[in-house]
Every structure is written in structure tokens, then in C-alpha cells.
Amino acid sequence: MFIPIILSALVAAPAVWSHPGLTPRAVPQVVYGCQNANQIAMTFDDGPYIYLRQISDAFTAANASATFFMNGNNWACVYDPARVSDVQHAFKAGHMIGSHTWGHTDLTANNLTSDQMNDQLYRMELAFSRMLGVKPAFMRPPYGNYNDDVLSVMSSRGQSAAMWDTDTGDADGNNVTTSEGVYDQVANANLPNALILEHETEKTTAEQLVPYAINLFQSKGYKLVTLADCIGAQPYQAVGVAQQRDASPTSSARDFIMLIFVL
Ligand SMILES: *[C@@H]1O[C@H](CO)[C@@H](O)[C@H](O)[C@H]1NC(C)=O
Ligand SMILES: *[C@@H]1O[C@H](CO)[C@@H](O)[C@H](O)[C@H]1NC(C)=O
Ligand SMILES: *[C@@H]1O[C@H](CO)[C@@H](O)[C@H](O)[C@H]1NC(C)=O
Ligand SMILES: [Zn+2]
């Protein structure tokens, strides 16, 4: 019974990619920082989780943009109705959505096969296709770990690796004062730009770091933009239409099983 449902979802997927108007990108395959002056890109990993909407709304209210690198199955399942709603909310507000792999897998683990690596990226492409109608152009490798094999798989899927040049350490045990000090250093050094790592999954990040950083950087005259904006690139390889939620996809192995049926 569920096989035809899933097949129809997959068969419908190519329509999402068939929209014209794609701009060829000339983006380095690994991005370490912003290029545009006076711009700061704040990036939030490991969601979607319960703070996505709050962070998204804080940036929107400040006429600013943020970037979220998401997992399919990490702190929450990306297909939970509440998470889908929040992801669509942030996307519609103009914030950038990128991949962080399905399961927050270290892609350089030496027991990972090429098929497993592709599956980690494919499942996020499928999720974003269903929820948002987009195909991501950027992937942040979990733990910042990548090698030539990882870059080869990413390249074949049209995705650039998004690293960072500034780390708040918000998920590494830094307290709020220390993380705020990281923002202070960027602002006080009058750096031309910064590509900053945060995590959506930290309550103190949502409640304290985000308001602090927005206020600090805007008062210093920086513009808070998406990662794509700060390097003059497109955030997505393709933009189409989201699918209606019908077959209740879950974070189980179901998608993978379906793929096997199709292949
Ligand atoms: C919001 O940002 C846009 C783009 O930078 C700018 O054109 C607009 O004036 C800003 N609006 C407000 C209310 O600050
Ligand atoms: C690879 O090895 C690690 C550590 O031994 C293990 O946790 C992980 O599940 C393995 N991954 C795969 C895909 O077999
Ligand atoms: C925050 O962490 C720093 C570095 O470990 C420490 O020196 C400082 O006392 C801490 N501040 C608070 C408020 O806990
Ligand atoms: Zn992560």
C-alpha cells in the first residue's frame, strides 16, 4: 500500500527541478569566509529544532537574514509537522536553508561508503524538495570534516562546502559571555566581514546570543546577510514548488527503501 504512495512522490519530484532561470555559479567548492565588505553571515547548524522560529523571527524583525544548515534526523526529525512548519516559515521569510547531512554523519569516517555518503546528501535534497521546492547549493560538513572523497561526492551533487571563519563555540561549552566576546572581537577589529558559526539547538543562542549579535553588528554598520549573499552566489541549485504533504514521510529508513524500489 505505501509503495505506490512513495513512488508517486518520487516521480513527482523531477518537476521541482525543471524550472528555468538558474544562474550558473562560479563558487569555490569550499567557502571559508565572506567576500563582500561590511557584511556578516551568521549561520546556525544542527536544526531544525525548537528555536528555529524564534531565531528566524529575530532576524526578520531586524530586517536581517540568517542561514540555517539542517539535518534530517538529529535533534528532531525534519518531517515532524511542527518542524516542517518552522522550516517553511524561515524559508518564506528569506532566510537561507542549507544541508548539514541527514544524520549529522562524519563524512570522513573511514567506514563510510560512497553510497552512504550520497545517501546522507540525497535524503536532505529530498526533504528540501518536498518541504520547500529547492535543491541546496551549500552543505556544511558535520564537524567541519571533509576530504577529497567528500568533495567529489558534493561536487557531483552540485553542492559547495560551507565552512566558517569565526566560531562562537556555543555548542562547545562556551558560556554566553565568552561567545559574546567572539562577536565583540569581530566588531572591535573592524573586520571587513565575517562568516560565523552558531547552533540553532542552544537555548542561550536563541535567547541571548542572537539579540546581542544583531544589535552589536547593526550598530557597527554591518549588514546581516545570508552566506550566499555575502559571497555573491545563489543559495539554491534549483527553485521550484514545494509538494503537498501527502504520504507522511518520516525520518525512518523508508525513503531509502523507496529509492531501492525505484532503482
Ligand atoms: C531593509 O533592508 C533593505 C535591504 O538592505 C533596505 O532596502 C530597507 O531600507 C531596509 N528597511 C528597513 C526598515 O530598515
Ligand atoms: C562507522 O564506525 C563508527 C565508529 O565505530 C560507528 O559508530 C558508525 O556507526 C559506523 N558507520 C557506519 C556507516 O558503519
Ligand atoms: C565564562 O567562561 C570564561 C572562560 O572559561 C570564564 O573565565 C568566565 O568566568 C565565565 N563567565 C561566567 C559568567 O560564567
Ligand atoms: Zn553540526
Higher-pLDDT residue of 12, 165: 165
The one-character DSSP state at 32 is: -
Question: Is a pLDDT exceeding 80 seen at residue 41?
Answer: yes
The alpha carbon of residue 85 and the mean position of all alpha carbons in its chain are separated, in whole angstroms, by 16
Task: Answer yes or no: is the C-beta of 178 below 6 A from any ligand 2 atom.
Answer: no
What SS3 class is residue 88? helix
**Is residue 200 within 8 Å of 53, Cβ to Cβ?**
no
Position 229 scores a pLDDT of 98
- Give dist(CA 143, CA 162) in Å, integer: 12
Position 81 scores a pLDDT of 97
Residue 7's CB is within 10 A of a number of other CB atoms, namely 14
C-alpha cell read off for 69: 544548515
Ramachandran class of 34: left when φ > 0, alpha when ψ lies in -120 to 50, beta otherwise: beta
Task: Answer yes or no: is the C-beta of 172 below 6 A from any ligand 3 atom.
Answer: no
Mean pLDDT (the chain) is 88
Q: Which ligand is nearest to the CA of 115?
A: 2
Q: With bands split at pLDDT 50, 70 and 90, how would you rate the model's confidence at 243?
A: confident
Position 136 scores a pLDDT of 98
CA-nearest residue for atom 3, ligand 3, is 178
First vs last C-alpha separation in the chain: 19
Helix (H) or strand (E) holding 131: helix 114-131
Question: Is a pLDDT exceeding 90 seen at residue 18?
Answer: no
Q: Please give the distance, rounded to the nearest whole angstrom, from the Cα atom of residue 153 to the centre of ligand 2.
A: 19
- Give Cα separations from 230 to 42, 92, 132, 233 (angstroms): 10, 19, 22, 8
Q: With bands split at pLDDT 50, 70 and 90, how would you rate the model's confidence at 11?
A: very low
Q: Which ligand is nearest to the CA of 225?
A: 1
Query: What are φ and ψ of residue 188, in 5° steps?
Result: -70, -25
**Is residue 222 within 8 Å of 38, Cβ to Cβ?**
yes
- Give dist(CA 75, CA 71) in Å, integer: 8
CA-nearest residue for atom 7, ligand 3, is 178
Average pLDDT over every residue of 159-174: 97
Task: Answer yes or no: is the C-beta of 178 below 6 A from any ligand 3 atom.
Answer: yes
Position 247 scores a pLDDT of 53
Q: Please give the distance, rounded to the nearest whole angstrom, from the Cα atom of residue 69 to the centre of ligand 1.
A: 25
Nearest ligand 2 atom to the CA of 116 is 13
What DSSP letter does each residue of 21-50 carry, written as one string? -PPPP---SEE-S--STTEEEEEEEEESST
Choose one of 73, 111, 118 to mutate for the ligand 2 pocket test, by most ligand atoms within 8 angstroms of C-beta: 111
Task: Answer yes or no: is the C-beta of 116 below 6 A from any ligand 2 atom.
Answer: yes
